[in-house]
């Protein structure tokens, strides 16, 4: 009887997760949480104490199809990434099929070491691989130059390098079935009043890169920045305005 009750509890818990309404959020730990943005996608939000900036929240994306999942950006650390992957497996019933970082910073691939140790397939801009190797960081396994198309079962995942911006290697992820665009840290939330950390970027190339993103993904429904509240195309336009005022 106890085993039956436990099984029913797990089923009901998983059903509750997948039946959540878009925009609903819940905690995994004090430094990690999820926000449901569509039937098949969640933003994972993790927190770290960053010198000069204090406690900083960073966004990543989880795309789900038929109980398989793809991860875009890890939480800040291996331990937070382990917590997320364990939660996805044990509480959401998901098998992690692959990983792509937006760029080489810790808020994008600080947990790559954990993924590599568990042989999760990883893909990245070749520039990201080269920078990671030069800095003695964990290195994604498979590189691409301009773009890559992957599949999560029958769903398409497209990743593009459209130019330098926040960093020299930043990419954008496009999930056409959801009309979700994840450009990460190159795009700022609407309450951002500046471009944030651009020490490793290219301010001269930045406007042209954003223009390419706006032109290529004018049909995006959801746009996810690297930090802060997600939204729509207005985030891209807001970022372009910040660049004009820089």
Catalytic positions are 103, 105, 107, 166, 185, 188, 197, 227
Please give the torsion angle defined by the CA atoms of residues 222, 99, 102 and 79, in that order, rounded to the nearest 10 degrees: 100
Which two three-digit tokens encode residue 142? 């498979």
State the CB neighbour count (10 A cutoff) for residue 162: 22
Strand partners, 29: 32
Residue 189: which region, alpha, beta or left (left: phi > 0; alpha: psi -120 to 50)? beta
> Please, what is the angle between helix 206-216 and helix 234-244, to 10°?
160
Dihedrals phi, psi of 113, to nearest 5 degrees? -55, -40
Distance CA 106, CA 55 (A): 14
DSSP label of 192: -
Question: Is 23 in a helix, a strand, or coil?
Answer: coil
């Amino acid at each position: 009887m106890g085993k039956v009750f436990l099984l029913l509890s797990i089923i009901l818990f998983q059903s509750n997760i997948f039946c959540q309404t878009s925009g609903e959020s819940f905690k995994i730990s004090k430094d990690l949480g999820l926000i449901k943005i569509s039937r098949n996608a969640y933003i994972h939000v993790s927190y770290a104490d960053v010198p000069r900036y204090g406690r900083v929240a960073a966004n990543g994306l989880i795309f789900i199809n038929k109980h398989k999942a793809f991860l875009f950006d890890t939480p800040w650390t291996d331990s937070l990434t382990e917590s997320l992957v364990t939660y996805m497996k044990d509480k959401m019933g998901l098998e992690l099929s692959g990983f792509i970082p937006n760029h080489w910073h810790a808020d994008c691939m600080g947990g790559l070491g954990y993924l590599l140790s568990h042989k999760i397939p990883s893909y990245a801009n070749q520039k990201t691989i080269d920078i990671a190797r030069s800095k003695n960081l964990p290195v994604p396994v498979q590189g691409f130059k301009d773009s890559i198309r992957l599949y999560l079962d029958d769903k398409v995942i497209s990743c593009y390098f459209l130019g330098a911006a926040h960093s020299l290697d930043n990419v954008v992820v496009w999930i056409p079935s959801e009309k979700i665009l994840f450009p990460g840290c190159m795009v700022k939330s609407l309450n951002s009043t500046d471009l944030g950390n651009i020490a490793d970027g290219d301010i001269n190339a930045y406007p042209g890169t954003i223009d390419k993103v706006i032109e290529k993904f004018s049909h995006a429904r959801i746009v996810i920045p690297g930090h802060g509240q997600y939204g729509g195309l207005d985030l891209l336009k807001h970022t372009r305005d910040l660049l004009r005022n820089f």
